[in-house]
Amino acid sequence: MLTRHRGSRTRAEQGMVTAELAVATLAAAALMIMLSWGIFLITIQLRCIDTAAAVARQTARGDTAAVVAARSRAPRGAVVEVSKTPTLVRVDVRVSVRAFRWATGAGANSGHDFGSGLGSVDVHANAQVVPEPGA
């Protein structure tokens, strides 16, 4: 007759714990990757908002050197469009963000793209400012 002591496990039960631990570890890693991606997108959105506000403010003041400096702080690959009328300065900043893409050299087409099948997320921000008199 086979008797088991309390707290002892058979070999099959020990392997089951290992498999459960492996699945839990992979699930935790996938969750961390998704959270990191979300935080990265929020960071890019905030950079677009800051760039749009700074470019609009400096364009409204007529300070071209500050406009160039503000444009340089835009996320990589961002398109900054400025439209100016006598009553309003409007700035739009757009960027398309792809997962697992990073540049390794100079130029827009250089770099590695490991997430080409994952699609992209379009991030957009705009700002409107009334021009200062005489600017």
Cβ atoms 102, 95 nearer than 8 A: no
Map out the domains of the chain as residue ranges: 11-129
State residue 65's pLDDT score. 95
Does the pLDDT at position 80 exceed 60?
A: yes
Which residues have a Cβ under 8 Å from the Cβ of 17 and sit 6 or more positions away?
9
What is the spatial distance between Cα 43 and Cα 25, in angstroms, rounded to a whole number? Answer: 27
Cα 54 from Cα 127, distance rounded (Å): 9
pLDDT of 108 above 80: no
What would the DSSP string read from start to end of the chain? Answer: -----TT---HHHHHHHHHHHHHHHHHHHHHHHHHHHHHHHHHHHHHHHHHHHHHHHHHHHT-HHHHHHHHHTSPTT-EEEEEE-SS-EEEEEEEEEETTEE--SSSTT-SEES-GGG-EEEEEEEEEEPPPTT-
* Length reported for the chain: 135
Give per-residue pLDDT as tens, 39-70: 999 999 999 999 999 999 999 999 999 999 99
The per-residue pLDDT for range 4-13, each reduced to its tens digit, is: 566 666 665 6
